Amino acid sequence: MEVNKISEGKTKIVYDFDKDHVLLRFKDDITAGDGQKKDILEGKGVLNAQTSAFFFRLLERYGIETHYVGMKDERTMIVKRLKMIPVEVVVRNIATGSIVKRLPIKEGEVFEPPIVEFFLKDDLRHDPLLNYYHMEHLKLMSRKEAQYIEDIMIKVNDILSSFIKNKGLILYDFKLEFGRLDDKLVIGDEISLDSMRIRNANSRIFDKDLYRKGYDLKTVKASYEEFLKIITS
């Protein structure tokens, strides 16, 4: 059976499924630096699909609506057809990554309360930071929608960080993307080690920072595997 490809990104492919659903196939590609650095990590698509499915199911159990419906195969999700908003929404509990380069904030500073940030999905412009005015002008979302998304981000952060804490690990930050289903805002995309930063109390890194920092692919893969095992056991 020929399935119709709707779009392809750096790590996932979207296929037509039925009127209200699409398929999201997780590739084995791993990228960093707006796609500048790129490799194939065999089996990574399955790991990220499984990790994402696990977190989407967890959020759904807490009454947070996501696009997740079920699995078509081990690396392909059936998801609700959304009109995606090209914005990345980040919550930070502990400072690392772009924020310590952009602002006079030191690596490891704790954010109480957590910080929510919006970025435009635009690799050529290196995903610039957005405020409410930018998002209204660019017709991305209204201020009211942005504030609603901030509330969801804080709820999701509470759920994910306490879950991860119970597993003996620490959620530094994570990114979500949202889409519209009629007039509702629903969480789309993925929740995996590509989109979150997880460390332990000794600052051991579990997430894509291993790849960003140049660790070998075997180490990256082993860490993704270990994390999936930790959350599912």
Q: Which of residues 14-53 bind ligand CDP (CB under 6 A)?
A: none
Whether residue 191 contacts residue 51, with contact meaning beta carbons closer than 8 Å, is answered with: yes
- The SS3 of residue 113 is strand
If one asks whether residue 174 binds ligand CDP (CB under 6 A), the answer comes out as yes
Q: How far apart are CA 14 and CA 32, in angstroms?
A: 21
Binding residue for ligand CDP (CB under 6 A) from 23, 79, 146, 196? 196
Could you say which residues in the range 62-91 bind ligand CDP, by CB under 6 A? 88, 90
Task: Pick between residue 17 and residue 48 the one whose CB is nearest to ligand CDP.
Answer: 48
Could you say whether residue 177 binds ligand CDP (CB under 6 A)?
no
Strands (DSSP E) contained in 74-177 are: 76-80, 83-84, 87-94, 110-120, 129-130, 170-176
Which of these ranges, 96-104, 140-148, 161-169, 222-230, lies near ligand CDP under the rule CB under 6 A?
Answer: 96-104
Give the count of residues interacting with ligand CDP (CB under 6 A).
14
Query: Strands 196-199 and 129-130, how do they pair?
Result: unpaired
By CB under 6 A, name the one of 78, 80, 97, 111 that touches ligand CDP. 97
> Residue 29's CB: how many other CB atoms inside 10 A?
16
- Closest to 26 in 3D by CA, of 172, 173, 153, 191: 191
Q: Which is nearer to ligand CDP, 33 or 70 (CB)?
A: 33
Q: Which residues, numbered 197-216, are part of the site for ligand CDP (CB under 6 A)?
A: 197, 208
Cα–Cα dist 98/119, whole Å: 11
Q: In a 10 Å sphere around its CB, with 0-12 CB exposed, 13-18 middle and 19+ buried, how is residue 80 labelled?
A: middle
For the CB of residue 175, give the shortest distance to ligand CDP in the complex, in Å: 3
Asked if 98 touches ligand CDP (CB under 6 A), the answer is yes
145/173 with CB nearer ligand CDP: 173
Site for ligand CDP in 125-164 (CB under 6 A): 127
Pairing outcome for strands 12-18 and 29-32: unpaired
- Report the interface residues with ligand CDP, using CB under 6 A: 88, 90, 97-99, 127, 173-175, 194-197, 208
